[in-house]
Amino acid sequence: MDKVLKVKDLAYGFGSNILFSGVNFVLERGDYCTIIGPNGSGKSSLLKLLLGILSPISGTIELFGKQVNEFNEWHKIGYVPQSVYISDVFLPITVKEFLELDAGTDVAYYLNYFGLEGFLNKRMSLLSFGLQQRAWLIKAFAKNPELLILDEPINGLDPQTYHKVNELLNDLNRNKHITIVHVSHDIGMVSSLANKLLCMNNRRVYQHEVSEIVNPQDFECFFGNQQLFIPHHDH
């Protein structure tokens, strides 16, 4: 199968603080990888490294066979950052202008899917956080990407939209074979959508097939007030 993402011996930190090291994993076309871990473990930083927004201390990242610093086919990638609220000070634009910044071919379809057609001429700053999150999702999906990188994309969404997002991700992954990297705190989603799992904790990143997840055993991966028990093995 086609390799979409390859990470080898990746390490990241700032100053003398090493956030994580020794990260190795490969994602092929159609993989759905969920990333879990406690707050501060480096989940968002890892996604920004994959996108070339941050630079690693060491290691390499390849996107579609190219080093990330040489990659230039960004139309292949849709990205939803974590909890970015757009104010007039930050970016004084309308919803329509926001979506046109990186216009995809299916904007009209996803505007309808997420019920945002009536908000096109509204300033982004006047939308609630949940509605802004819908705009970020439309922007990412409308590009018809080959790789989706999602940083807690369901934050701030109402239950109905939350289920619509999960249904859409399932369809895009299983029927269109779009590769997805998804930071989530939703344990149920791990087993229902993903086939691969990265668990980040204690400066390490452990990779699993979701089929390996069993009942509580020897090791624990903590995040928030929840616990997911997974046996970790070094690869």
Closest CA to 205 of 2, 38, 17: 38
- pLDDT tens-digit map of 141-182: 998 999 999 999 888 888 999 899 999 999 999 999 999 999
Strand 226-229, strand 220-223: pairing: antiparallel
From residue 106, give the alpha-carbon distance in Å to each of 21, 102, 205: 38, 12, 35
Closest CA to 35 of 166, 177, 233, 228: 228
Say what the pTM is.
0.87
- pLDDT tens-digit map of 4-15: 999 999 999 987
Domain boundaries, the chain: 3-229
- pLDDT tens-digit map of 64-73: 999 999 999 9
The residues pairing with 7 across neighbouring beta strands, listed in sequence order, are 25, 61
3-state helix, strand, coil in the chain (%, to 5): 30, 30, 40
Choose between 215 and 82: higher pLDDT. 82
Average pLDDT on 89-115 reads 87
Fold annotation for 3-229: Rossmann fold (3.40.50)
d(CA 207, CA 103): 34
